[in-house]
Amino acid sequence: MSEGKPEIPAAPAAPDTTRPAAQEAAAVGASRAGTAADEYNGWQGMGIRTKRGVPAGLWIRCPGCNSTVFRKDVDRLMGVCPECDYHWYVSARNRLAQLLDEGTFEEWFGDLKPCDPIEFVDKIPYKDRIKREQQRTGLKDAVLVGMGMIRGRRVAIGVTDSAYMMGSMGSVVGEKLARLVEQAQKRDLPLIIVSGSGGGARMQEGMLSLMQMAKTSAALARFSASGGLYISVLTNPTMGGVAASFASLGDVVIAEPKALIGFAGPRTIMATIRIELPKGFQTSEFLLEHGFIDRIVRRPALKTELARLIDYCGK
């Protein structure tokens, strides 16, 4: 775990106080991790300029420290910079491959697809945006759920993906997560949810998206009452309605280093309360110091740590 705390970027001279919190969170998350469109494959999808006599793709530039690093070193560390510990974005499918034993993942509720209940239109109609996101990411919505094994321990697992509309929670995301929790309770499995959602509740679905906060929280309350173990893993970014509901309700809450975690973004908070925020505000290091999370775990050690926690809790 890195001991230093990252500096918070200076606030703009004239912040837009009318900006919705969900949009603010998405903007801040994109500034920390790079936009989902640019980094859908994380470090593996970064464009490399070729030089005469040098094979393409051997070196990449780290967004965290601006160092040029050997790609194979980043691959070996699962998308972590060997110089500054910057954690690149990881897609939901790659995350499952990193955490689960090979060939053990069984996807659940993969047939659920979003619709356009209120016929929402912003720059483009919501139904067209859904199609575009599905084609770009290969996901039907911003979460994958199912069952797999972590070092021989069977678990129910869900992973949200910030590449799909910043991982915002609409009706399908909430429904799949609620069903995942119910299946974990029915099968007496440890539950793990990896959150990478910078968009909070999905505004294109209006009140229906806000209802998912209550639905997922109620399902987790029933799961907890039955004696189930829920481990929440927070990645960069975890914001808005996701942070305010299922992501913060784990029996054990783990975060990756330097992850942005909170409800509203720092610029919105500064524009509201008109005071300077502490250094490292809303980073996982700051939240560990103040008791919001239980542990910071680097990505290469996460699989082993999850297996150890499951054993420790007797599941």
pTM value is 0.83
Could you tell me if 236 and 221 lie in one domain? yes
Could you tell me if 290 and 224 lie in one domain? yes
Could you tell me if 57 and 192 lie in one domain? no
Domain assignment of residue 4, yes or no: no
- pLDDT at position 267 is 86
- pLDDT at position 34 is 40
Could you tell me if 172 and 305 lie in one domain? yes
Q: Which residue range(s) make up the domain with 206?
A: 21-31+90-312
CATH code for the domain of 127: 3.90.226.10
Could you tell me if 277 and 130 lie in one domain? yes
Could you tell me if 167 and 26 lie in one domain? yes
Domain assignment of residue 10, yes or no: no
Query: Domain boundary residue among 72, 88, 104?
Result: 88
Averages of pLDDT over runs of 10 residues in the chain (315 residues) are: 44 42 42 42 61 73 94 94 95 97 97 95 95 96 98 98 95 98 98 92 94 97 98 96 96 97 88 88 95 97 97 89
- pLDDT at position 287 is 96
One-letter-per-residue 3-state SS of the chain: CCCCCCCCCCCCCCCCCCCCHHHHHHHHHHHHHCCCCCCCCHHHHCCCCCECCECCCCEEECCCCCCEEEHHHHHHCCCECCCCCCECCCCHHHHHHHHCCCCCCEEECCCCCCCCCCCCECCCEHHHHHHHHHHHHCCCCCEEEEEEEECCEEEEEEEECCCCHHHCECHHHHHHHHHHHHHHHHHCCCEEEEECCCCCECHHHCHHHHHHHHHHHHHHHHHHHCCCCEEEEECCCECHHHHCCHHHCCCEEEECCCCEECCCCHHHHHHHHCCCCCCCCCEHHHHHHCCCCCEECCHHHHHHHHHHHHHHCCC
Domain assignment of residue 15, yes or no: no
Could you tell me if 145 and 265 lie in one domain? yes
Could you tell me if 69 and 97 lie in one domain? no
Query: Domain boundary residue among 71, 88, 105?
Result: 88
Could you tell me if 140 and 58 lie in one domain? no
